[in-house]
Amino acid sequence: MTSITFYFQVHQPYRLRNFRFFEHGETEGYFDDSLNRFVLERVAERCYLPMNRLLLDTIEETDGAFRCAFALTGTVLEQLEDWAPEALESFQALAATGAVEIIAETSHHSLASLGDAEEFGSQVHAHHRRLEALFGQSPTTFRNTELILDEGIAAAVERMGYRTLLGEGADQLLLGRGPRRAFRPRGTKDLTLLLRDYPFSDDIAFRFSNPEWEGYPLMADTFARRIREESDQDDFLGFYMDFETFGEHQGAQTGILDFMRWLPRYLLEEPGIDFKTPAEVREAMPERTELPIPRPFSWADENRDLSAWLANPMQHSAHEALYTLLPRVREAAELGRPELLTIWRRLSTSDHVYYMSTAHQSDGDVHEYFSPYDSPHDSFIVFMNVLDDLTRRVDEAIGASPTQRHETDARSDQETHP
């Protein structure tokens, strides 16, 4: 039996408005609420509501044989609560079927696993509690931001109590091995790692509407047959993708919604195929192969590493400045200014450094599609202007002088870069 896991990532960041240097000290409005609301409501109309209705119908019509998993970031949950409550209710209805697993992650889709271990744990625990409150599930599966993974992150995830971890089936990681089995990250004791099958996943997420692709048009019946033929001896297939693929990145006019309406039904007609959530795959596959993960891998761009967020000097400068400020933000929060930590965490969302990428060719096209800025340099300038103004407010809250601020920055830099 080959088990197929559909995992959908749901995320929207808090985009910054064009905050200029001369506005320092004049306003506290860093985020473009009108743009963020516009995008959220558009995606809810095009993707979340129609796809959730489609998936709910599929679960009901197959008597729960179709099963899938969702990870929803804290930032998208907050926006859904504020601007599209009916879409949030549609996610809750899916979770209530018993056929949908809710997956844990960082609350702010951040790079905290790379920047600060304490903050990583804080974001994960806060988000876990929120998922329990909203969906009535206590997650046992974890996915890190953009599937960023190495042995240290895997060990931290296991220490937090999670039993299953999702990752990218990168060729550079597997070194000739196939992704269609259960792994155990080296250095962990009992953590199951389930990897993304990127060729099949990307056929849907990226190539579906490309008329120059040799597989175009992708039809549900022939795709189901191909999946069965090419995975006949495999245990597991991970179809992981952004949920916004359906109706937003790939518009309804491409046929993507009708494709997803029929694909589960055709797959269930194929012999030897079923659907499982990640937690169910773990229980069904107790035998796991140890997998070394000596450096970070992700599902982003062709390199499948950290270069989507931490490749150029702008990205490194922004990331380091953000995490250098964190100890003082915590102090300000303890002194009665928790809203400053809320702002900091919205700035920690990985999208902000993603917009600063200077990647070229196909990767660059993807970065430009998601970015609200005219150029990576523009995004860097806006981000640093906001961070400078937030720094001023934090220092005022804790009563730090410019000299004390310089000394604290130097100590933090030494601790981060021994």
Considering the domain architecture, whether residues 92 and 230 belong to the same structural domain is answered as: yes
Is residue 363 domain-resident? Answer: yes
Residue 66's pLDDT is 98
Q: Are residues 282 and 355 in the same domain?
A: no
Write down the pLDDT at residue 417. 33
For residues 276 and 348, state if they share a domain.
Answer: no
Q: Kindly state the DSSP code that residue 297 receives in the 8-state scheme.
A: B
Candidates 122, 99, 103, 93; CA nearest to 10 is 103
Assigned domain for 169 exists: yes
The residues assigned a catalytic role are 146
pLDDT of residue 416: 36
Candidates 405, 307, 416, 394; CA nearest to 347 is: 394
**Domain span including residue 323:** 313-416
pLDDT score for 411: 43
Q: What is the pLDDT of residues 94-103, one digit of tens each?
A: 999 999 999 9
pLDDT at 403: 47
Residue 42 lies in a domain: yes
For the domain that residue 31 is a member of, what is the CATH number? 3.20.110.20
Report the SS3 class of residue 20.
Answer: coil
Instruction: Give the pLDDT confidence score for residue 418 in this predicted structure.
Output: 30
112 and 164 both lie in a single domain: yes
Low-confidence residues in the chain, pLDDT < 50:
361, 363-364, 367, 401, 403, 406, 408, 410-418
Q: β-strand 250-251 against 183-185: which pairing, if any?
A: unpaired
> Do residues 177 and 123 share a domain?
yes
What total number of domains does the chain contain?
2
Please check whether residues 326 and 215 belong to one and the same domain: no
pLDDT of residue 285: 92
Question: What is the model's pLDDT at position 301?
Answer: 84
Q: Does residue 189 fall inside a structural domain?
A: yes
> CA gyration radius for the chain?
22
376 shares its domain with 254: no
Q: Coil, strand or helix: which one is 142?
A: strand
How far apart are the C-alpha atoms of 71 and 7, rounded to whole Å? 8
> Is the CA virtual torsion 247, 251, 253, 257 positive or negative?
negative
Q: Is residue 298 part of a domain?
A: no
Same domain membership, residue 346 and residue 252 = no
Q: What's the pLDDT score for residue 368? A: 60
Closest Cα partner for 171 from 152, 149, 198? 198
CA 133 to chain centre: 20
Clarify whether residues 78 and 163 are in a common domain.
yes
Q: For residue 97, count other CB atoms closer than 10 A to its CB.
A: 14
Q: Please check whether residues 79 and 113 belong to one and the same domain.
A: yes
Whether residues 118 and 153 fall in one domain: yes
State how far Cα 313 lies from the chain centre: 24
Residues 197 and 323 in one domain: no
| Residue 304, domain member (yes or no) | no
Is there a domain that residue 147 lies in?
yes
Whether 20 maps to a domain, the answer reads yes
